Structure 1
Amino acid sequence: MVERFEVALNTPVGRLTTAIDVPTGLIPITAIVPVARRLGEEAAQLEIQHATEAGQAISCRIGCAACCRMLVPLSAPEAFALRDYVEQLPTDRRDLLLNRLGDTKDRIKRAGLWDRLNDVSEASKPIADEELDPINRSYYALRMPCPYLENELCSIYEARPAACRELLVTSPAELCQDLVQNPVTPLPVSMRISSILGLAWGTLTDSPPRLIPLPMALEWAERHEEESRRTWPGSALLDQVLDHMWRFLSQAFQTRSSEL
């Protein structure tokens, strides 16, 4: 059984209205991940429309994977959802991915970053951007392709993290070859879905929001397998997600007002 909810969200670039079906029974946190991603993508479409009307164009194209060398953070719900996705893949596809993840882990270890990333994923309190920045820069300096990348295309496109979905740019594509040194112009994001899911998870479990680096997401999910089995009423999960979305949107309105 499912219950339909009519959702209306005011974003800085327009009003988002949609209908969402949520199971009425007890469900795991992973069941709400597609719902949150869908709302994030609909909000992104409003941003794209706004940029287009202002004479800007999105530079991102299929096969342009320059950003797939960055360190991508996942929330706990996304890590659990990714584990579930990989587990249901055909054996040959799953083994190929796991082998690439193993190679990536070895390279990160040789660079002296694996333990630092693990500390980030298991941090008992939020980590300041100032602490994360040198880790992000060290990882990006490796110019290491995402382990889920195949021939410059995402092999888990339908299950890719929210952070990947949200990174769109309006500056020339060639500038993305060096995202640190070049003046890249990202499309504004009014709702960061990974952060929203992480905050919702933290509220539900009375734990700190997690930033889980993509290369170790499956290992992290395995270590926290028992936590992933917890369930809540579907409406309660949706309420948590929407509550944090409204908070993000409120901040987005304030930020853009101050920029005018």
Structure 2
Amino acid sequence: MVERFEVALNTPAGRLTTAIDVPTGFIPITAIVPVTRRLGEEASQLEVQRVIAAGQTISCRMGCAACCRMLVPLSAPEAFALREYVGQLPTDRRTLLFNRLGDTKDRVKREGLWDRLNDVAEAARPVPDEQLDPLNRAYYALRIPCPYLENEMCSIYEARPAACRELLVTSPAELCQDLVQNPVTPLPVSMRISSILGLVWGSLTNSPPRLIPLPIALEWAERHEEESRRTWPGSSLLDQVLDSMWRFLSQAFQKK
């Protein structure tokens, strides 16, 4: 059985109202990930409508994968959800994916970055930006295609991380060929869904909010499989998600 909730959120780009169905029983954290992402996407769509009304355009198009060389962060719930999704893929697709992941791991290890990625994922406290920025830049400098890309198309599009969904730009697409040197103009994001899910998971498990680099997400999720089996009341998980969203939105309004 499910319970329907009417959700209303005031965002800097307008008011978001929607209905959400949440199971009435106990559910794992992965069950709340799709709903949370949906709220993030609806908030993003309000931003898209706002910039279009202002005469701008979104440059991102299907097949444009310039940003798919960045080090993408996931929350723990997203990593668990990705592992579930990959586990349900047909065997041939899963084999190809694991081969690409293995190639990426070998390359990142040769460059001396693999252990640093694991250190971030397993950190006992949130890693400050001044430590993350050099790692992000070092990874991006390698220009490694995301292992989930197939012919420059996302092979896990419906399950892709929130950070990928949130990255839209209004600057010319060609500037994305070098996201460090070029003046790229991203669409404002009032709610970072990976951060919100990370905060929720940290609160539920009394652990630090952590962000897990995408190349190691499946390995991390496997190491922490037992944690992923824990369950909570569905309405309680939604309450925690909405509470974190309201905090993010409050900060976004303060910055305006």
TM bucket (normalised to shorter chain) is over 0.9
Task: Map 1:52-91 to 2 at 5 A.
Answer: 52-91=52-91
Give the length in aligned residue pairs: 256
Give the unaligned 5+ runs of structure 1: none
Q: Give the aligned partner of residue 226 of structure 1.
A: 226
Give 1:117's aligned residue: 117
Deviations 1:160-203 (A, max 9, x none): 00000000000000000000000000000000000000000000
Deviation at 1:112, TM superposition (A): 0.3
Distance in 2, Cα, partners of 1:209 & 1:87: 25
Q: Residue type matched to 2:97 in 1?
A: L
Q: Distance in 1 between matches of 2:13 and 2:78?
A: 27
For 2:235 and 2:193, the matched residues in 1 are separated by: 18
Q: CA deviation at 1:13?
A: 1.1
Shift of 1:210: 1.2
Task: Give the corresponding residue for 2:92.
Answer: 92
TM-score for both structures, normalised by structure 2: 1.00
Q: 1:197 aligns to what? A: 197
What SS is found at the alignment partner of 2:9?
Answer: strand
- Counterpart Cα distance in 2 of 1:225 and 1:233: 20
Q: SS in structure 2 opposite 1:85?
A: helix
The one-letter code of the counterpart of 1:157 is Y
Q: How far apart in 1 are the matches of 2:56 and 2:252?
A: 20
1:24 deviates by: 0.2
Q: Which runs of 4+ in 1 moved over 6 A?
A: none
Amino acid at match of 2:191: M
The aligned residue for residue 41 of structure 1 is 41
Identical-residue share of aligned pairs (%): 86
Counterpart for residue 13 of structure 1: 13
Q: Please give the root-mean-square deviation of Cα atoms over the aligned residues, in Å.
A: 0.4
Mapping for residues 143-222 of structure 1, pairs under 5 Å: 143-222=143-222
Structure 2 stretches lacking a partner, 5+ long: none
**TM-score, normalized by length of structure 1?**
0.98
